Structure 1
Amino acid sequence: MKTTLLALAMTAGAAAAEPILVPFDGSFDDATFAVESAIVGKGLVIDSVSHVGDMLNRTGQDVGSEVTIFDDADIFLFCSAVISREVMEADPMNIEFCPYGIFVTDREGQVMVGYRSYPDGPMQKVQALLTDIVAEAAGN
């Protein structure tokens, strides 16, 4: 059983798609404000903001690393009741993708906004929503 689970996990990891990244012309703070505004502007509620950059910077020394991965990085987590219901009615196991996340990173002054790509089928509705939110936030 353990071998089967390990093989499944390795297959899933190998099939993981690259994230979709959009450069942001402005500061990290401007990008996070733009992303938050775009999400809320769609009538969605942000469940939480994960301050991943702060955590990585705070804990680096504790784990024996001096590498700065991000100058700053946040992930906005949220759902859409309408789209989530639709994709989970199509396949209840689409729950694995909820909540949806949009991240903002700053690496050496290069600010990026991004999100994961989703599989073909019903989850493309989620990807279209995220594409729209990120395009609005980036001013495209």
Structure 2
Amino acid sequence: MLRIATLASALALTVALPVTAETAPVIYTVEDSFENVTFAVESAIVGAGLVIDHVSHVGSMLERTRADVGSDTSIFTEANIFTFCSATVSRAVMEADIANVQHCPYGIFVYETPGAPGTITVGHRAYDGSMAPVNDLLSGIVKGALASE
């Protein structure tokens, strides 16, 4: 009987969870080389006193595995995602809503496509509500990186 009550409670909690729509990312474009822009983004992150946890080389992974998955389409010339966290901003957003832990670490993506060589896209997920300080942090870093170009 306890097992049925526990299962019913878990189901009720699952059903009660809010459903949120995916928000379009914040995107900026610049005319430059991929190398220059990724260096500027990396420098802006480090310059903000943050530590880059990981650089995901998504573009090279997708290109390397293209034939393995049966595709003949090159999506990116290059694409990287820088992930990092901010103790100050993370504490503020998680004190506002503990569930904001799901968003850490934060990421900034940089990519170039075969159809637009020399046009580099830089962006990040868009956050609102209690995550607005993260949006401000990420936009500030991107704008700072692109201003140094």
Instruction: Specify if TM > 0.5.
Output: yes
Unaligned runs of 5+ in 1: none
Considering only aligned residues, what root-mean-square deviation do their CA atoms show, in Å?
2.1
Task: Tell me the SS of whatever aligns to 1:47.
Answer: strand
Which of 48, 55, 58 aligns to 1:42? It is 48
Q: In structure 2, what is the Cα distance between the partners aligned to 1:125 and 1:92?
A: 15
Equivalence for 2:111: 105
**TM alignment of 1:70-81, pairs within 5 A:** 70-81=76-87
Q: In structure 2, what is the Cα distance between the partners aligned to 1:20 and 1:88?
A: 22
Unaligned runs of 5+ in 2: 1-9
Alignment TM-score, normalising by the size of structure 2: 0.83
Provide, for residues 97-120 of structure 1, a one-character-per-residue CA deviation record: whole Å limited to 9, x for no partner. 100000000013121100010122
Q: In structure 2, what is the Cα distance between the partners aligned to 1:97 and 1:37?
A: 22
Task: Tell me the SS of whatever aligns to 1:123.
Answer: helix
Equivalence for 2:141: 133
Q: In structure 2, what is the Cα distance between the partners aligned to 1:51 and 1:30?
A: 16
Aligned amino acid, residue 66 of structure 2: G
**TM alignment of 1:8-87, pairs within 5 A:** 11-12=19-20, 15-87=21-93
Which of 115, 124, 136 aligns to 2:132? It is 124
Q: In structure 2, what is the Cα distance between the partners aligned to 1:24 and 1:112?
A: 7
Alignment TM-score, normalising by the size of structure 1: 0.88
Runs of 4+ in 1 over 2 A off after TM superposition: none
Alpha-carbon distance, 1:126 to partner: 0.5
Q: Percent identity, aligned pairs only?
A: 51
Count of aligned residue pairs for this structure pair: 134
